[in-house]
Chains A and B, each alone.
Chain A
Amino acid sequence: MKKLSRLLAVVLAITLLLSMSGCGASDGKTHLTFQIWDVAQRDGMQAICDAYTEQHPDVVIEVQVTSWSEYWTKLEAAAESNTMPDIFWMHTDQILYYSDFGMLADVTDLYDDVDPNFYPEHYSEISLSNASGSNGRLYGVPKDKDNIVLVYNKEMFDAAGVSYPDETWTWDDLTSASQQIYDKTGKYGYMAYCDEQLGYWNFVYQAGGYILNEDGTASGYALPASADAIKFYVGLQQYDWCPTQTYFAETSPGTAFFSEIGAMFFEGNWNLLAELNNYPDMVGKWDIAVLPKCPNPASGDGRATISNGLCYATAARGKNLEVVKDVLRFFGSEEGQRIQGLSGAAIPAYLGLEETWSTVFETFDYMLDVQVCYDQFDYCVQYVNNASRPKWKSTVSDELLKIYSGEVDIEEGLAYMQQVADTASAPK
């Protein structure tokens, strides 16, 4: 009996040792981890890593995917215990929080020995701004850029005898087309759901209003232009041709669209490729167009689309900082960005390489009009953000939901949203 238990202990100890040794690198190479949240971009990211490791055989990079909902909880815990992944995607929502706390490595000087003007020459102001901390330094290498497009069902437009959306469309065309489609086919028209980046933000900026002022110190929810745009957007759910927010809480507009229940919705262009892949039967039945413009903007020409971009970041106190910086240098180079574009992962942030992203769309039987995504960069608006946004974001969106459900009057609600965002954003 005693012998048996001793034997058992030895076996256990050996397995433990074996499993521990599995964690450490014993092949003399530098092992890096690369954390992302979008499973659809895994292959594209892997392709960039492969291109790098081919040139640097002493480096191994492992791409890890964590779902968006868990990503930030995990990353924050990792940051606290100084065990962050070597490379990770950083989102505009979070970059100020992480960089202001000194969690991210400053990569402003990354290309100084190549070309001190590398960043401004190859990246747009918006891309760089999305990758900057509050102090104006760069804490990430720009990865991609996106904007919001109008997705529409061609068959429903044909059935209703309405011409397809184009750059002449205004909000009025959006509503009248929706009405006609609803009358003729019984399908929903434009599905306007409660969302900021994919929803009312676009309308606010088209109308000449704003969510946050230029330096992010005050909000503009209650400005007449913003308020009118939000009222228009929220009011769309009063029409028979638009489902209500209770509907959207159960069925996302994307699901409704690809189940051929509704004719139009706003979508981020980063989802288009996945939608072509996930709904093969729908290929050819739908296309994309620029966002309709505001017919009577308070200022500007009525055009706007929210543009965001991710960046590649690394921890300030990372163990392999020098190697990682070299990898990042490659990720931000023309070659790294070209591979990203050609893989279809996302539109490269690198200026002049945008259209490499089209390649993957050409492989489908029907080619989406992806040119509209590039055209829209001419008037895109930077994703709304400031350092305190994590603090006011959920309060503001809860209030908007109360407006949707009729619990709160829209004027009162907007005033409250303005007050919450202002208080949190005011310089201290």
Chain B
Amino acid sequence: MTATTTKTVRRPNARRLSRAARTERNWALIMVAPTILGLLILNVWPFLQTIYASFCNHLGFGYYEFTGLDNYINMFKSADFWKATWNTVYFCILTVPIGVFLALLVAILLNSKVKFKSGFRTVFFLPMVCAPAAVTMVWRWIFNSEYGILNQILGTHINWITNPNVAMISCAIVAIWSAIGYDAVLLLSGLQNISKSYYEAASLDGASKVTQFFHITLPMVSPTLFVVLIMRLMASLKVYDLIYMMVEDTNPALTSVQSLIYLFYRESFVAGNRGYGSAIAVWTVLLIGIVTVVQFIGQKKWVNYDV
């Protein structure tokens, strides 16, 4: 009954806004217009074009010829494509759980009573400020099998970036190292929102630090943790620049680390097969979509939104 009354009261308001409200609405539209336009022109339109291009053969210089499902058929038959898909998934498996776990660890340490806290925060955030290309160049020197510092310290002779079995792990190390600071800062803000009174009450009741972590910290930080997980997973599924910089096309490990977006780049821009490249891009979008949907379903089981 109350619902219908509010409706009848609201309707005229919704139709005929007061002058002030209308001006406000117009201003709101004007204010978001640049973003919306940018999104439409720079994201949505190219995305639609990519979908169209994936059904075409690129003849050259933006001329396309419609070929139906050919690109998809060739793609699903291609061993390199499946290898790239697996490489991408493997990269996620290597980077996401370890990366997010380490970021959480760092965030908890930074949230505790340590000396030079702000100094540590700066140091951990530093990789985020550096250009990825510069970061990768430095890591390449660290990993250099002959003259790199890593093999010197370990006294080993591991081909960090040229051994097909090891190269992906090396890439994952750099990815984790680069992302830890950013994720940790996000998690830290989540941790700082937890009221101290929970911990005080828990310690009065005699709960140990470990119990406190699993029963207070983890549930309370889970919304932030979920955001970090989603973002990290998407970024990992789209990995390109890092691998491109680490592994050049003369590297025998290339096919073992080539991610989907790397393959897309080589097909579209090196070989000029933009139609086929677009099919790979569409596949990647689908993959990211599926993974994200699964995560959103899964979050109901472990993310806690009650404060």
Q: Judging by beta carbons under 8 Å apart, are A247 and B61 in contact?
A: no
Who on chain A is nearest to B162 by CB? A246
Other A-B pairs, 12, CB within 8 Å; known A194-B250, A246-B159, A249-B247: A76-B61, A97-B272, A100-B60, A249-B161, A249-B162, A249-B250, A249-B252, A250-B146, A250-B161, A391-B273, A404-B252, A405-B253
User: Interface readout for B48-87 with A: 1 if CB under 8 Å, 0 if not?
Assistant: 0000000000001111000000000000000010000000
A393 to B247, CA, bound (A): 18
Q: Judging by beta carbons under 8 Å apart, are A398 and B254 in contact?
A: yes
| Nearest CB on A from B138, distance (A) | 14
Q: Judging by beta carbons under 8 Å apart, are B61 and A103 in contact?
A: yes
| Nearest CB on A from B215, distance (A) | 49
Residue A79 is within 8 A (CB to CB) of chain B in the complex: yes
Who on chain A is nearest to B248 by CB? A249
Residue B232 is within 8 A (CB to CB) of chain A in the complex: no
**8 A-B pairs with least C-beta separation:** A246-B162, A405-B252, A249-B251, A80-B62, A249-B162, A246-B159, A101-B60, A80-B61
Within 8 A of B (CB), among A250-274: 250-251
Interface residues of A (CB under 8 A from B): 73, 76, 79-80, 97, 100-101, 103, 193-195, 245-251, 390-391, 393-395, 397-398, 401-402, 404-405, 407
For the A-B complex, the count of residue pairs with Cβ-Cβ distances under 8 Å equals 75
Specify which of B63, B146, B248, B254 is in contact with A247 (CB 8 Å cutoff): B146
Residue B255 is within 8 A (CB to CB) of chain A in the complex: yes
Q: Judging by beta carbons under 8 Å apart, are A246 and B254 in contact?
A: no
Within 8 A of A (CB), among B203-261: 247-255
Name 13 A/B residue pairs within 8 A (Cβ), A-sorted: A245-B250, A246-B251, A250-B161, A250-B162, A391-B272, A394-B266, A394-B270, A395-B271, A401-B252, A402-B252, A405-B164, A405-B252, A407-B164
A76 to B140, CA, bound (A): 31
Q: Which range contains the number of B residues in contact with the other chain?
A: 20 to 34
A179 to B161, CA, bound (A): 28
Q: Judging by beta carbons under 8 Å apart, are B164 and A248 in contact?
A: no
Chain B contact surface mostly = loop
Chain A contact surface mostly = helix
Chain B hits for A101, CB < 8 A: 60-61, 63
Q: Judging by beta carbons under 8 Å apart, are B140 and A249 in contact?
A: no
| Nearest CB on B from A3, distance (A) | 20
Within 8 A of A (CB), among B262-298: 266, 269-273
Specify which of B251, B253, B271 is in contact with A394 (CB 8 Å cutoff): B271
A85 to B155, CA, bound (A): 53
Q: Judging by beta carbons under 8 Å apart, are A249 and B271 in contact?
A: no
Chain B hits for A79, CB < 8 A: 61
| Nearest CB on A from B213, distance (A) | 43
Specify which of A245, A393, A398 is in contact with B255 (CB 8 Å cutoff): A398
Chain A hits for B145, CB < 8 A: 246-247, 250
A398 to B271, CA, bound (A): 12
Chain A hits for B269, CB < 8 A: 73
| Nearest CB on B from A42, distance (A) | 23
A407 to B163, CA, bound (A): 12
User: Interface readout for B135-177 with A: 1 if CB under 8 Å, 0 if not?
Assistant: 0000010001111000000000001011110000000000000
A334 to B163, CA, bound (A): 52
A76 to B272, CA, bound (A): 10
Chain A hits for B247, CB < 8 A: 249
From B147, B253, B272, name the one whose CB has the most chain A CB atoms within 10 angstroms.
B272
| Nearest CB on B from A371, distance (A) | 31
A265 to B272, CA, bound (A): 32
Chain A hits for B254, CB < 8 A: 398, 401
